[in-house]
Structure 1
């Protein structure tokens, strides 16, 4: 590529990224927008947690999960969200969970209070993220669910 073509590509690329800076920001107070993004990956309904904070009950490819809104002020302005899925009666070994946590960058695997398989993934929304960024986080969660269910032997319902 000639120097002129490289320079032109760089200028056009920087111009194209300009509107990205003007994108709307989603924070933990925009619950309806977050539910809409969740629905892009499967069924998702808005519920309330016991403490009054919102949560999403979702299902991706037959795998149920929750998105808990955390560190909320007045049940509306929440600093972060926690993706969670638990798998009753599936009891992987600690060695298997340690291997997952060692080999995977995202998603913390552990045994819940009943010693069943669980996985979580946290996303900080304190100062907001673009819609595209949050959609990408849901995409990561979707992949994590698929990989983790296969890893622990969970069979999704059709």
Structure 2
């Protein structure tokens, strides 16, 4: 009897130790969590874009940015996003060879010049099917890194 109880107890403990907590997976329904994570990097406000889709506007290290969502159905259930920041073309380098050097030299973030001659930096990410809180926070941190590196590169 004692052996049976000990065996059952050992099996139960082993199965409990082997179990790991499920990661906290966020979906587009969790925009408040997106906003909370973004607020850890600077100011952020929830808005809607010209098409009625949700978006965020914020600042990281003083640099204004927008976060647009795409792949939306009826202004919800979006499955990817793009961060965008603009730097005044009069204050930052917008030469094509320098932009190409940045795009070829940096893995995250993409540079281009908009129709007004301003430098545009963007960074896209996907979250179709959900994204863990840790991965989303890492994505937002990479956006911070992209902004800081781009600002320094193009000064």
1:151 Cα deviation (Å)? 1.3
Name the residue aligned to 1:5: none
Name the residue aligned to 1:152: 154
TM normalised by structure 1 equals: 0.82
Secondary structure of 1:30's match? Answer: helix
Unaligned runs of 5+ in 1: 1-14, 154-158
Matches within 5 A, 1:69-148: 69-89=69-89, 90-148=92-150
1:107 Cα deviation (Å)? 0.3
1:115 Cα deviation (Å)? 2.2
1:91 Cα deviation (Å)? 4.6
Which entry has the higher C-alpha Rg, 1 or 2? 2
Specify whether residues 92 and 132 from structure 1 end up closer, same or farther in structure 2 by C-alpha distance, changes over 3 A only.
same
**In structure 1, distance between residues paired with 2:147 and 2:43:** 15
1:113 Cα deviation (Å)? 1.7
Unaligned runs of 5+ in 2: 1-16
The answer to whether the Cα contact below 8 Å between 1:67 and 1:84 also exists between their aligned partners in 2 is yes
Q: How many aligned positions are there?
A: 137
The answer to whether the Cα contact below 8 Å between 1:111 and 1:118 also exists between their aligned partners in 2 is yes
**In structure 2, distance between residues paired with 1:142 and 1:49:** 22
Name the residue aligned to 1:28: 28
Compare 69-78 and 83-92 and name the one that shifted more: 83-92
Secondary structure of 1:23's match? Answer: coil
Say what the alpha-carbon RMSD is for the aligned residues.
1.5
Specify whether residues 82 and 16 from structure 1 end up closer, same or farther in structure 2 by C-alpha distance, changes over 3 A only.
farther
The answer to whether structure 1 residue 49 and structure 2 residue 44 are counterparts is no
TM normalised by structure 2 equals: 0.83
**In structure 1, distance between residues paired with 2:19 and 2:148:** 32
The answer to whether structure 1 residue 66 and structure 2 residue 66 are counterparts is yes
Divergent runs of 4+, >3 A: none
